[in-house]
Amino acid sequence: MSATRVLVVGGKAGIVRKAAALGLDVVHVQKPSAFDPDVVEHCSQLLLVDYQDVPTVTALVRALHEQRPFTRVFTQTEAAQAVVGHLTDTLGLPGNSERTTRLLHDKPALRALLNDRGIGPVAAVVRPTRDELRDFVKTAGAAVLKPTMGSGSLGVRRIASVDEVDEAWAWREAFGLEDFMAEEWLVGEELSVETFSRAGAHTVVAVTGKETGHGVVELGHVVPARLDDGELSAVASTVEALLEAVGLVDGPAHTELILTAAGPRVVESHSRRGGDRINDLVRLVHGIDLEEATYRLALEGDALPQPGEPEGAAAIRFLVAAPGTVTSVTGTAQAEAADGVVQVDVQVEPGDTVHELRWSEDRCGYVVVHAADTEAAVRRAAEAAAGIVIATEPAVIDGQVATLGTLLGEVDEVLDPFAARVTDPSAAPPR
């Protein structure tokens, strides 16, 4: 009997390997710029094509499906979520629809839906003028300016008071941020909720605590977050209401929220497992691999193993350094030998350039720790990370000002792969 055939769009070789390890016949679509030769042994067919070129990838996938049908279309990559929703609808397969994946990708649309349903209302304004932004900040007290699409804190900036509006506006223009919105600044503990759904039934697998310091880029995560029973219930109810509202039916979701004095308020949500190695933290504590569970949706039986009792807590702390040229990296061996450390990954070396912390891609590595409880995990991860010293010296970091376009170009992504279709007057509106 032939193996169950699935399409996997994007993702690194290690993620594709998990599908092959389940006995699935994997057809893999990857951008040429992201090709890793290690993926070849894990798939029966490989298409090197820009999967954000929606007409091209749709035509190719439809032809392959007619030749030998796929059971499911999967992605574990943010940039491919809406495309996979579109392919799922096009092929008539089970899974999350284009409507659902695009709602989660489109921040103004998601905010409007949540506010309309009364799910943790948050004041927002879309594409305001400078005067409208000033009025909004004056009323809200503080705000966050961000792109209407995207992830990884890309293009996100806090406006602490009305006095900062002109500076933020000038930054927005220089950064090339044209499609943007502002929301009231939410005060409280920042969390993410890792869920898994099957046929519309939602399970909260874990709640992750976060640390951003005084900025917007995440510097650390811990599983489980410090919550009492009442807070956990409120958070779970809010996330389940969101998933119902957007129509998510299958697979993992990663929902970020702030636990404010007025209750949980959603920041954003994604139809994928959390990034930043959160899947590793969940696996260490709960024994569940959400990436593997995703592929199990193509097989018979329960895709999500029943978790046992949590085993302690796990935390990740990201490495940062002063902008400039790296001159030395020390303390790595000591960090690896520290109590509870599971993994150390330093992603820079002498001669590399460190940028100011503009988004997640500017961090320099991480330390993962497993400990007896949340407090110990957070402490040990911070201590181990602090022992790794990435020394830099000031340098002229190219003559160009970083813009949204240049940063996206570095990772070969666009925020809206459907932009051409949406702006075409003959194109049908999103469903």
Q: What is the fold, at CATH topology level, of the domain defined by 5-93?
A: Rossmann fold (3.40.50)
Residue 153 confidence (pLDDT):
84
315-413: CATH number? 3.30.470.20
Write out the residue limits of the CATH 3.30.1490.20 domain(s) in the chain: 123-184
Tell me the average pLDDT of the chain. 93
CATH 3.30.470.20 in the chain, residue ranges? 187-311, 315-413
Question: CATH 3.40.50.20 residue ranges in the chain?
Answer: 5-93
Give the strand pairing for 72-74 and 124-126.
unpaired
Whether the pLDDT of residue 421 is over 80: the answer is no
Percentage of the chain surpassing pLDDT 70? 96
Average pLDDT over residues 369-378: 98
Tell me the C-alpha distance between 36 and 32, whole Å. 9
* pLDDT-derived band at 427, boundaries 50, 70, 90: very low
Whole-number pLDDT of residue 398: 59
Which pLDDT value is given to residue 33?
96
Across the range 359-377, mean pLDDT stands at 96
pLDDT-derived band at 215 (thresholds 50, 70, 90) equals confident
Which CATH code fits 123-184? 3.30.1490.20
Query: Percent of the chain having pLDDT more than 90?
Result: 87
Taking only the tens place, the pLDDT of each residue in 66-107 is 999 999 999 999 999 999 999 999 999 999 999 999 999 999
Q: Flag whether pLDDT at 122 surpasses 50.
A: yes
User: Which residues on neighbouring strands pair with residue 8, listed in sequence order?
Assistant: 28, 74
Assess if CATH 3.30.470.20 describes domain 187-311.
yes
Query: How far, in Å, are 157, 163, 165, 172, 312 from residue 140 at the CA level?
Result: 15, 13, 13, 19, 40
With cut-offs at 50, 70 and 90, classify the pLDDT of residue 423: very low
Q: What pLDDT, on the 0 to 100 scale, is given for residue 429?
A: 36
Its pTM stands at: 0.93
Average pLDDT for 27-34: 97
